[in-house]
């Protein structure tokens, strides 16, 4: 590619992204440029709007357009795939120092999780054997069960509820892809969330070891955690959120 052609392409794309500050290249028809400007921006706005319906509820049209325009101007997508634009938008939001609503970045992530889990190529864990004791055997977490923690109560936010301050305690959730492909969100206690994170980060440890580590980390009595911990592990095993480590995932 010649330097002249490269400069022309940079000038054109710069203008299409931000016509207010980047002048149009000389010699191009203004009406045709307007068609391209509208087409590119409207396509991006429509693509993002379909991925984040709750964001559209909490922002008015002007705020949504301004946010999409900022993203269009500032961000350079790593992936050429349309299906990954939403994920890059979520990452871009995490890095913004100021947004129209203080909970916006976390709300966008919460909405994106459903899309990401639906598209995940992770496979479910096989059913555990009836005799499997999660207290004793090394464990792994399903690739289709994601523990989530937010400062804001993202699952409650919408047009009618838009808090201005986060609550004292974080919101802990688990997102799961069910066998029929649907995505289900469940509320977790802080300790249940920490347990799932720990199993994902340090597989091949038994449930007993995981609970002992949690008790130590949170200043709790390990003996007091044993009974509720065993009940929680049994529930997670029965629903295939966790399973014995080392087993191949089901096809």
Task: Walk along the chain (251 residues) and give the pLDDT tens digit of each residue.
Answer: 567 667 667 777 776 778 777 777 777 777 888 888 888 888 889 989 999 999 999 999 999 999 999 999 888 888 767 778 999 999 999 999 999 999 999 999 999 999 999 999 999 998 777 778 999 999 999 999 999 999 999 999 999 999 999 999 999 999 999 999 999 999 999 999 999 999 999 888 999 999 999 999 999 999 999 999 999 999 999 999 999 987 655 43
Domains of the chain from N-terminus onward: 3-100 (1.10.150), 138-244 (3.90.930)
Range list of H helices, the chain: 3-17, 30-51, 53-58, 61-74, 85-94, 104-119, 190-201, 207-218, 222-238
Helix, strand or coil for residue 172? strand
Q: Quick check: 132 and 237 in contact, CB under 8 A?
A: yes
Comparing CA positions, the residue from 239, 139, 156 lying closest to residue 197 is 139
Helix, strand or coil for residue 145? strand
Report the DSSP beta bridge partners of residue 147: 174
Please tell me whether the overall predicted TM-score, pTM, comes out greater than 0.85 for this model: yes
Q: Quick check: 52 and 46 in contact, CB under 8 A?
A: no
DSSP secondary structure code for residue 168 in this structure: S
């Amino acid at each position: 590619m010649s330097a002249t052609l490269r400069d022309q392409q940079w000038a054109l794309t710069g203008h299409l992204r931000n016509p207010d500050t980047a002048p149009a290249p000389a010699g191009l028809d203004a009406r045709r440029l307007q068609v391209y400007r509208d087409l590119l921006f409207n396509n991006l706005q429509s693509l993002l709007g379909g991925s984040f319906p709750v964001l559209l509820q909490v922002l008015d049209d002007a705020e949504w357009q301004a946010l999409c325009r900022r993203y269009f101007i500032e961000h350079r997508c790593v992936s050429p795939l349309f299906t990954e634009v939403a994920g890059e938008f979520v990452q871009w939001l995490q890095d913004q120092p100021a947004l129209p609503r203080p909970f916006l970045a976390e709300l966008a992530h919460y909405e994106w999780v459903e899309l990401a889990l639906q598209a995940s190529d992770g496979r479910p864990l096989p059913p555990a054997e009836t005799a499997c004791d999660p207290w004793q055997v090394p464990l792994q977490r399903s690739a289709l069960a994601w523990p989530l923690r937010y400062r804001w109560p993202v699952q409650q936010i919408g047009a009618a509820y838009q808090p201005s301050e986060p609550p004292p305690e974080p919101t802990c959730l688990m997102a799961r892809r069910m066998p029929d492909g649907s995505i289900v969100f469940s509320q977790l206690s802080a300790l249940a969330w920490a347990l799932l994170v720990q199993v994902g980060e340090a597989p091949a440890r038994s449930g007993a070891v995981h609970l002992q580590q949690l008790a130590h980390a949170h200043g709790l009595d390990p003996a007091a955690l044993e009974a509720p911990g065993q009940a929680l592990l049994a529930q997670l095993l029965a629903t295939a959120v966790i399973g014995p480590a080392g087993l191949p995932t089901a096809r």
